[in-house]
Amino acid sequence: MNWSPDKTQVKSWNEWDTLRHVIVGKADDCHIPPEEPALDAKVPEDSDMRGQWGRRPQETIDRANELLDTFTDTLRKRGIRVDRPTPTDFSKPVTTPDFHTDSQFGCMPPRDVLLTVGHEILEATMSYRCRWFEYLCYRPLMQQYWEEDPNFRHEAAPKPRLTDADYHDDYLSEAIGIEKRLQWTAEKHFVTTEEEPLFDAADVLRFGKDLIVQHGFTTNLKGIEWLRRHFPDHRVRAVNFPGDPYPIHIDATFTPLRPGLILNNPNRRLPDEQRDYFKKNDWEIVDAAQPAHNTPPPLCYSSTWLSMNVLVLDLKTVCVEASEVYQMEQMEKLGMEVIPVELRDAYAFGGGLHCCTADVYRDGDCEDYFP
Ligand code: ABU
């Protein structure tokens, strides 16, 4: 059945077919959570975030919301349906029988929590304690989609216990240093252990029948195995990027633009033996352009490589952050029409244009791009 704006349908098999319906996150009440193992491992040792926690300054929340609202309007003007989450009180602690943390994170970015595969939206386990309840912000939408679309499958992966056994002690040291971090990521020694299945949805890229999943800080091998068993009709392939000292979320590292074309972060090159799978199936992997900035904005978890964290609207159109001049230029050379979208002042809330969205509906069916 074709998409119609008057009827809710959940369906999205890949990152590039024409986007019709999407969720865009909100910055309301976002917090910098207190220290906890997996979160700390992602914060660079020289970052202005070290030792900080609490509600983000109101003026930064307002500015981020202004940008997210404008992005929403841009998408709506192009005929795309946009839904927004319902923030909860993120100052509330998270307490379970296994752990306690004094505050939560926010409802940015949805891509980390929600994985849309075909007619299903799957809530990820998550791997940070402060993000344990984040799925609640999306429950009103999930409930609505479930009521309105009889084909929608709403699924939730098993909630993890997130005890200390989930995290490697050696990552808790104050000063690890980049060299040691790079050695560890090359050895696939990440902050999360194999205690139980863990994954963030933003570690998964959808290529029709193939799900490409980054093994790193936020997704462990058991998480990848869980996805494999959960999606038995898919091929689930683990990848890793040894050049990344803080490997969380694949979408500032590996960005498919259309069938046959992927941008790869040149500092986080996919190893040759993992490239073969793509090469053999006629996928070209090109180095992404350099970011336009030397540093992330203040109080930001992410790297400058949010430059390549783009949202593809269809085979010819892509949203790129408006200050990322080199990335825009490269997209144009690759034959894409670029929609510049201002978002840099919202990066601190958890990511860029791909991160701050989650697919609900794209045209197209489940194709095999690796026959
Ligand atoms: N959430 C994507 C962040 C990746 C990066 O910091 O490069």
Name the closest-CA residue to atom 6, ligand 1: 302
Alpha carbon of 243 to ligand 1 centroid (Å): 13
Alpha carbon of 103 to ligand 1 centroid (Å): 22
Average pLDDT over the chain, rounded to an integer: 96
What is the structure's pLDDT at 91? 97
Pocket flag, ligand 1, residue 296 (CB < 6 Å) = no
**Residues whose CB falls within 8 Å of the CB of residue 187, separated by 6 or more in sequence, listed in order:** none
Per-residue b/e over 41-79, b at no fewer than 16 CB within 10 Å?
bbbeeebebeeebeebeeebbebbbebbeebbebbeeee
The candidate with the shortest Cα–Cα distance to 252, out of 144, 81, 104, 112, is 112
Pocket flag, ligand 1, residue 197 (CB < 6 Å) = no
Confidence of residue 50 (pLDDT cuts 50, 70, 90): confident
The candidate with the shortest Cα–Cα distance to 203, out of 301, 152, 315, 127, is 127
Residue 56: DSSP 8-state: P
In a domain, 5, yes or no: no
Query: For 246-292, what is each residue's pLDDT tens digit?
Result: 999 999 999 999 999 999 999 999 999 999 999 999 999 999 999 99
Query: For 191-208, what is each residue's pLDDT tens digit?
Result: 999 999 999 999 999 999
Instruction: Examine the pLDDT at 145 and tell me if it is beyond 80.
Output: yes
| CA dist 83 → 5, 191, 316, 363 (Å) | 12, 34, 24, 18
- Which amino acid belongs to residue 38? A
Per-residue pLDDT averaged across 55-66, rounded? 97
DSSP 269-321: PPPHHHHHHHHHTT-EEEEPPPPS-SSPPTT--S-GGGGG--EEEETTEEEEE
What is the structure's pLDDT at 290? 98
Please report, rounded to a whole number, the percentage of residues in the chain having pLDDT higher than 90: 92
In a domain, 9, yes or no: no
Instruction: Examine the pLDDT at 86 and tell me if it is beyond 90.
Output: yes
Domain that holds residue 163: 19-362
Alpha carbon of 370 to ligand 1 centroid (Å): 27
What is the structure's pLDDT at 52? 85
In a domain, 51, yes or no: yes
CB 42 within 8 A of CB 244: no
Ligand 1 atom with the shortest distance to the CA of 309: 2
Alpha carbon of 30 to ligand 1 centroid (Å): 18
In a domain, 78, yes or no: yes
Instruction: Examine the pLDDT at 212 and tell me if it is beyond 80.
Output: yes
Alpha carbon of 47 to ligand 1 centroid (Å): 14
Pocket flag, ligand 1, residue 351 (CB < 6 Å) = yes
In a domain, 367, yes or no: no
What is the structure's pLDDT at 135? 98
Alpha carbon of 151 to ligand 1 centroid (Å): 33
Phi, psi at residue 341, to the nearest 5°? -130, 125
In a domain, 202, yes or no: yes
Confidence of residue 297 (pLDDT cuts 50, 70, 90): very high
Ligand 1 atom with the shortest distance to the CA of 304: 7
CB 127 within 8 A of CB 192: yes
What is the structure's pLDDT at 40? 84
Cβ atoms < 10 Å from Cβ of 110: 28
Pocket flag, ligand 1, residue 355 (CB < 6 Å) = yes
Instruction: Examine the pLDDT at 174 and tell me if it is beyond 80.
Output: no
Per-residue pLDDT averaged across 356-370, rounded? 98
Per-residue pLDDT averaged across 317-339, rounded? 98
Pocket flag, ligand 1, residue 305 (CB < 6 Å) = yes
Residues tagged active-site? 200, 249, 355
Name the closest-CA residue to atom 2, ligand 1: 249
Instruction: Examine the pLDDT at 353 and tell me if it is beyond 90.
Output: yes
What is the structure's pLDDT at 37? 85
Per-residue pLDDT averaged across 131-148, rounded? 98
**Could you give the number of structural domains in the chain?**
1
Pocket flag, ligand 1, residue 116 (CB < 6 Å) = no
**Residues whose CB falls within 8 Å of the CB of residue 126, separated by 6 or more in sequence, listed in order:** 112, 113, 132, 134, 160, 198, 200, 218
| CA dist 22 → 9, 53, 103, 309, 314 (Å) | 11, 31, 28, 16, 13
Per-residue pLDDT averaged across 123-139, rounded? 97
CB 113 within 8 A of CB 138: yes
Confidence of residue 42 (pLDDT cuts 50, 70, 90): confident
What is the structure's pLDDT at 2? 86
In a domain, 8, yes or no: no
Confidence of residue 333 (pLDDT cuts 50, 70, 90): very high
If one compares 9 and 48, the residue with the highest pLDDT of the two is 9
Pocket flag, ligand 1, residue 303 (CB < 6 Å) = yes
Query: Of 105, 203, 309, 354, which is best to mutate to test ligand 1, by the most ligand atoms within 8 angstroms of its C-beta?
Result: 309
* CATH assignment at residue 220: 3.75.10.10
Instruction: Examine the pLDDT at 46 and tell me if it is beyond 90.
Output: no
For the record, the structure tokens of 270 come out as: 């996919």
Query: Of 108, 305, 354, which is best to mutate to test ligand 1, by the most ligand atoms within 8 angstroms of its C-beta?
Result: 305
CA 238 to chain centre: 16
In a domain, 313, yes or no: yes
Range of lowest pLDDT (41-55, 212-226, 227-241) = 41-55
Pocket flag, ligand 1, residue 12 (CB < 6 Å) = no
ipTM of the complex as predicted: 0.97
